[in-house]
């Protein structure tokens, strides 16, 4: 669970103005580097200072090369098509009662750098409930839990690379990064390739959220176009009459239009 309520340091005396200043300095340095001809950077720094807990959690030692192929296979994904049921992708139907909140449909395509569909890949998501609380023992945010919403789902992409979920729009929540710090509503996505080592994790946001300007996690993506690609688009064709509103969000795995990945966090 990324940036959950109790996974960060205790309340920090830094104000929003202090965080804004740090973000501005990092963005200015990144712009200067691009102007000087530095190669494009598609992922944020692992120790982005305004995202204060990243300094405690980011890897500080070199990667360990795994040379035993059998050992790698022991830790690879074991999910197959027979393991995934329709309930896995409909988070509103996993419990006997109706979950609270606004029902939404989230769909999109998993694509490679050339726009080709990536078929048969495992897509997992997890999220807070409508009140901004995760169904997790370590989340002690004093917001109500929903006994009919766990906030976890998965599916396999189809032949067009498409994934599809029905869920509840998550709420914002405080995360103690600095004074009065709130995370915008978001959904975490995990993407698997053919082995565990190919797992990628990212986040999807909702359009026009007023908290975007105050969020160091989103601000850690210093390229404005890359930040925009993390925001889903409302799609009326995906909305289901009298049931749910639709959001479309494509995920690009690599290349110049790659979706930002939480590297090393």
Tell me, yes or no, if 188 is annotated catalytic: yes
- DSSP codes of every residue in 170-220: PPPEE--SSTT-EEPSEEEEEE--SSGGG-EEEEEE-TT-TTGGG-HHHHT
Output the pLDDT for position 116.
92
**Catalytic member of 136, 154, 176, 188:** 188
Output the pLDDT for position 3.
45
**Catalytic member of 5, 51, 52, 134:** 134
Domains of the chain in start order, with CATH, are 16-56+77-252 (2.60.130.10)
Output the pLDDT for position 182.
95
For the stretch 14-42, what's the b/e string if a residue is b when 16 or more beta carbons lie within 10 angstroms of its beta carbon? Answer: beeeebbebbeebbeebeeeeeeeeeeeb
Say if residues 165 and 89 touch (Cβ distance below 8 Å). Answer: yes
Kindly provide the residue ranges of all beta strands, DSSP E only, lying in 74-114, ordered along the sequence: 103-111
Strand partners, 124: 154, 190
| Contacts with 48 (C-beta within 8 Å, 6 or more apart), sequence order | 26, 54, 216, 220
pLDDT in tens, 124-154: 999 999 999 999 888 889 999 999 999 999 9
Output the pLDDT for position 12.
63
**Catalytic member of 141, 154, 178, 183:** 183
Using a pLDDT cut of 90, give the percent of the chain over it. 50
pLDDT in tens, 201-226: 999 999 999 999 999 999 999 888 89
Output the pLDDT for position 6.
47
Taking the model in full, what pTM does it have? 0.85
Output the pLDDT for position 10.
53
Output the pLDDT for position 42.
63
> Which residues does the chain have with pLDDT short of 70?
1-12, 40-42, 66, 68-82, 193-198, 263-265
Tell me, yes or no, if 52 is annotated catalytic: no
Tell me, yes or no, if 134 is annotated catalytic: yes
Tell me, yes or no, if 234 is annotated catalytic: no
């Amino acid at each position: 669970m990324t940036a959950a309520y109790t996974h960060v340091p205790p309340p920090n005396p830094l104000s929003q103005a202090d965080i804004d200043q740090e973000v501005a300095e990092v963005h200015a340095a990144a712009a200067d580097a691009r102007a000087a001809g530095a190669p494009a950077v598609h992922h944020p720094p692992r120790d982005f200072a305004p995202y204060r807990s990243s300094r405690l959690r980011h890897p500080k030692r070199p990667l360990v090369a795994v040379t035993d192929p059998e050992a790698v296979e022991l830790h690879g994904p074991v999910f197959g098509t027979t393991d995934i049921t329709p309930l896995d992708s409909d988070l509103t139907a996993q419990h006997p009662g109706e979950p609270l909140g606004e029902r939404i449909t989230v769909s999109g395509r998993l694509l490679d750098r050339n726009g080709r569909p990536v078929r048969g890949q495992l897509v997992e998501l997890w999220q807070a409930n409508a009140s901004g609380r995760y169904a997790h023992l370590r989340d002690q945010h004093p917001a109500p839990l929903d006994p009919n919403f766990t906030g976890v789902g998965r599916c396999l992409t189809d032949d067009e690379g498409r994934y599809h979920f029905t869920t509840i729009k998550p709420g914002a929540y405080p995360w103690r990064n600095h004074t009065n710090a709130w995370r915008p509503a978001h959904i975490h996505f995990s993407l698997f390739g053919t082995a565990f080592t190919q797992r990628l994790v990212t986040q999807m946001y909702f359009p026009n959220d007023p908290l975007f300007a105050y969020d160091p996690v989103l601000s850690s993506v210093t390229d404005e176009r890359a930040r925009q690609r993390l925001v889903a688009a409302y799609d009326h064709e995906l909305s289901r009459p009298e049931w749910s509103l639709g959001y479309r969000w494509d995920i690009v795995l690599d290349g110049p239009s790659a979706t930002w990945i939480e590297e090393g966090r």
